[in-house]
């Protein structure tokens, strides 16, 4: 305070001895944009020099832009341009402001001009990004969710900025500049403070706003974006500059406070907050063990990035880590919120959107992050940010979209998901049992079908009817895995894996059904294979269709192992027979080599059968090489695959 008392008279003395232009420049350089706007507008009106007027209009426009009032800057950019002011960066900012107003066509044309003529590398990249984003506006605007209802309530909003809602116990804490008794010279509005909105959940527009806490809210300082732990006794919020610092963009830090004996403690600077950077938009995870926040600190991908910090065992916060390029863009990414289901919501002007900040949903699937623009009605051509959930189907967010009064202030909107409640569904499993004969499916009756869990627990056992139909009475669970085991005398067993993942019925198909609880049957099938024994006795030799080999290899493949297991079952059931396994190759390679390779293949199959408990005395391996092809003069890989086969020949029946 003493230092201010020394500096302020000095500044006043400088102003009193300086020209009006110098005074305006000083206010501009100090970030006192509202004062600078008034000074430059006065200079523009009194100047007779067109070049000077152009510069003053440009300074007014820049003052509006730098105080986050870009749409207010547009008329002054145009005045500056019409008066002959030359600055290509002006076209970028003008284009961006038009995009915020939804004038996509003109905005795109100006971005394209800047992409050709601009020189600022950072703005060039952004211009190219914005062109791509505008090209996606139509697709993002399609099919707005008809069940999302949005309301802007007078009970919580004022005629100033109201933003960054966060639910706290049975109330909502938000930021507002509604108190204009003391004006922040950066914007000409009041300082931001935290307020509490106590409301009726059945009617979100029926409530009362009160000042949050006098120890948290300090005079002549901004407080905003509060987040609370689950118990409501710990909070983190952002506190920012007084407007007297030249680099006031850096003067935003995170503070923490605890509720003790019903009172909030004196806020203290969060140790991980960096005094050399802009740290804001804090959000605690549901369990309070992870803090997410936005910062322009080093190591980012764009202007402002989202970082996270995990709480250490001793209660301190760990080193902040950048959330990475899937979340963070070349633009600004901020206002994170972690929902109870683990999904992350955040705002970005760097990902493809409708203009300004858009709200995005981030999910993790298969250990990969996927983001989705929430589309309309959550997003508009303006800034939309700070989405939070109070319940699964109810929440709030901030937007400066054009409202019915034509203002572009930040206001809080409530949303409700009115999607019809889904009908409960009981899922059951039914199917058909059959055998393939001459490429046709033949229904197979009296097949014993067992339903098991993936762990092997038997849930139900039934027998298929005369047309091969079976229906289980056991209710299935969505997302679970099951096993079907089908057996019948003189047929090989069939084992079928069945999953209910992604099998949920479309609720649209149920809307005309009268039942309150719907029984729904899922379909499966089991295919049995005729036991080899009868064919082997009758023909003397059979071909195992699935004992196939890769080119120039003799190892047993997984598909071959399944077929050999059927042969093992045959030998276990009929202990009176012995067999020869004959292996055949294709005609690639020398005859001598193929004889050797086929012998190895036959022995490999024999060894597999022995490993399943069949005596070596009942088995004989014979390699025929390429001497007995099924397809002569084979050319395609499929034809060569057919020739690479294993045959079973009956040697003895004891």
Task: Residue count of the chain, please give it.
Answer: 654
pLDDT of residue 258: 97
Question: Per DSSP, which regions of 374-419 are E strands?
Answer: 384-391, 394-399, 411-417
**Res 563 pLDDT > 80:** no
**Res 423 pLDDT > 70:** yes
635 pLDDT tier (thresholds 50, 70, 90): confident
Nearest-angstrom CA–CA distance, 44 and 53:
5
pLDDT of residue 532: 62
Classified as helix, coil or strand, 450 is strand
pLDDT of residue 4: 29
For residue 62, the Cα-to-chain-centroid distance in whole angstroms is: 36
∠ CA 339-342-348 to the nearest 5 degrees? 65
425-530 CATH choice from 1.10.260.40, 3.60.150.10, 2.60.40.10, 1.20.1740.10:
2.60.40.10
Nearest-angstrom CA–CA distance, 95 and 163:
25
* Range(s) of the chain covered by CATH 3.30.1330.60: 532-653
Q: What DSSP line would sit under 259-323, residue for residue?
A: EETTEEPPPEE-TT--TTSBEEEEEE-TTSSEEEEEE--SS-SSSBEEEEEEBPTTS-B---EE-
540 pLDDT tier (thresholds 50, 70, 90): low
Q: What is the DSSP letter of 352?
A: S
473 pLDDT tier (thresholds 50, 70, 90): very high
- Report pLDDT digits (tens) over 356-413: 999 999 998 777 899 999 999 999 999 999 999 988 889 999 999 976 665 679 999 9
Which of these, 175, 181, 179, lies nearest to 162 by C-alpha position?
A: 175
Six-digit token pair at 274?
A: 């960096």
194 neighbors 175 (Cβ within 8 angstroms): yes
Average pLDDT, the chain: 87
Six-digit token pair at 243?
A: 């407007």
Helix (H) or strand (E) holding 105: helix 104-117
* Range(s) of the chain covered by CATH 2.120.10.30: 148-417
CATH class (in words) of the domain with range 148-417: mainly beta
Which of these, 407, 291, 391, 306, lies nearest to 357 by C-alpha position?
A: 306
pLDDT of residue 115: 94
254 neighbors 280 (Cβ within 8 angstroms): yes
* Range(s) of the chain covered by CATH 2.60.40.10: 425-530
SS3 for 177-213, per residue? CCCCCCEECCCCEECCEEEEEEEECCEEEEEEEEECC
What are the C-alpha distances in Å from 653 to residues 574, 581, 649?
Answer: 9, 16, 11
Average pLDDT of the segment spanning 482-489: 88
- Report pLDDT digits (tens) over 226-272: 999 999 999 999 998 644 444 444 579 999 999 999 999 999 999 99
294 neighbors 304 (Cβ within 8 angstroms): yes
**Res 286 pLDDT > 60:** yes
Q: Which CATH architecture has domain 532-653?
A: 2-Layer Sandwich (3.30)
Evaluate the CA torsion angle 635, 637, 638, 644 in order and state its sign.
positive
């Amino acid at each position: 305070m003493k230092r201010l008392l020394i500096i302020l008279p000095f500044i006043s003395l400088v102003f009193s001895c300086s020209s009006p232009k110098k005074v305006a420049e000083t206010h501009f350089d100090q970030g006192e944009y509202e004062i600078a706007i008034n000074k430059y507008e006065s200079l523009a009106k009194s100047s007779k020099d067109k070049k000077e007027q152009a510069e003053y209009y440009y300074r007014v426009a820049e003052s509006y832009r730098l105080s986050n009032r870009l749409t207010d800057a547009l008329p002054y950019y145009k005045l500056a341009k019409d008066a002959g002011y030359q600055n290509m960066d002006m076209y970028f900012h003008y284009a961006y402001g038009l995009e915020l107003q939804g004038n996509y066509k003109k905005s795109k044309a100006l971005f394209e001009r800047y992409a050709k003529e601009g020189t600022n590398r950072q703005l060039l990249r952004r211009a190219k990004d914005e062109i791509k984003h505008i090209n996606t506006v139509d697709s993002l605007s399609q099919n707005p969710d008809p069940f999302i209802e949005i309301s802007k309530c007078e009970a919580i909003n004022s005629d100033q900025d109201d933003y960054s809602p966060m639910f706290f116990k049975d109330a909502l804490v938000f930021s507002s500049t509604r108190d204009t008794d003391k004006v922040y010279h950066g914007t000409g509005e009041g300082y931001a403070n935290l307020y509490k909105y106590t409301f009726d959940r059945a009617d979100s527009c029926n409530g009362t706003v009160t000042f949050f806490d006098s120890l948290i809210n300090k005079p002549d300082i901004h407080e905003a974006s509060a987040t609370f732990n689950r118990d409501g006794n710990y909070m983190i919020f952002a506190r920012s500059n007084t407007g007297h610092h030249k680099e006031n963009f850096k003067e935003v830090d995170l503070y923490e406070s605890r509720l003790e004996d019903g009172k909030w403690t004196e806020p203290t600077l969060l140790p991980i907050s960096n005094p050399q950077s802009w740290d804001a938009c804090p959000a605690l995870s549901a369990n309070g063990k992870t803090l997410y926040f936005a910062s322009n600190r080093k190591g980012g991908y764009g202007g402002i990035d989202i970082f996270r910090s995990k709480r250490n065992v001793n209660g301190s916060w760990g080193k902040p880590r950048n959330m990475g390029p899937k979340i963070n863009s070349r633009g600004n990414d901020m206002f994170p919120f972690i929902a109870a289901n683990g999904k992350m919501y955040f705002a970005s002007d760097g990902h493809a959107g409708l203009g300004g900040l858009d709200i995005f949903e981030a999910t993790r699937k298969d250990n990969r992050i996927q983001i989705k623009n929430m589309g309309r009605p959550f997003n508009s051509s303006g800034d939309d940010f700070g989405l939070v959930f109070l319940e699964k189907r109810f929440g709030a967010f901030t937007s400066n979209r054009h409202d019915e009064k034509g203002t572009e202030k930040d206001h809080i909107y409530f949303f409700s998901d009115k999607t019809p409640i889904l009908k409960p569904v009981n899922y059951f499993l039914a199917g058909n049992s059959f055998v393939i004969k001459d490429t046709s499916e033949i229904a197979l009756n009296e097949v014993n079908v067992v339903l098991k869990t993936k762990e092997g627990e038997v849930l139900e056992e039934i027998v298929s009817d005369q047309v091969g139909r079976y229906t289980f009475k056991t209710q299935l669970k969505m997302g679970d895995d099951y096993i079907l085991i089908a057996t019948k005398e003189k047929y090989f067993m069939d084992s079928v894996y069945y999953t209910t993942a992604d099998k949920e019925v479309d609720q649209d198909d149920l809307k005309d059904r009268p039942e309150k609880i719907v029984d729904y049957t899922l379909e499966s099938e089991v295919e049995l294979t005729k036991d080899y024994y009868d064919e082997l006795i009758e023909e003397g030799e059979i071909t195992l269709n699935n004992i196939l080999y890769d080119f120039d290899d003799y190892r047993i493949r997984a598909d071959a192992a399944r077929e050999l297991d059927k042969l093992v079952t045959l030998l276990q059931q009929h202990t009176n027979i012995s067999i020869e396994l004959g292996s055949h190759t294709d005609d690639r390679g020398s005859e001598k080599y193929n004889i050797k390779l086929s012998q190895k293949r036959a022995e490999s199959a024999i060894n597999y059968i022995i490993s399943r408990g069949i005596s070596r005395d009942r088995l004989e391996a014979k390699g025929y090489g390429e001497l007995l092809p099924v397809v002569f003069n084979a050319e395609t890989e499929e034809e060569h695959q057919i020739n690479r086969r294993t045959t079973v020949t009956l040697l003895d029946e004891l």
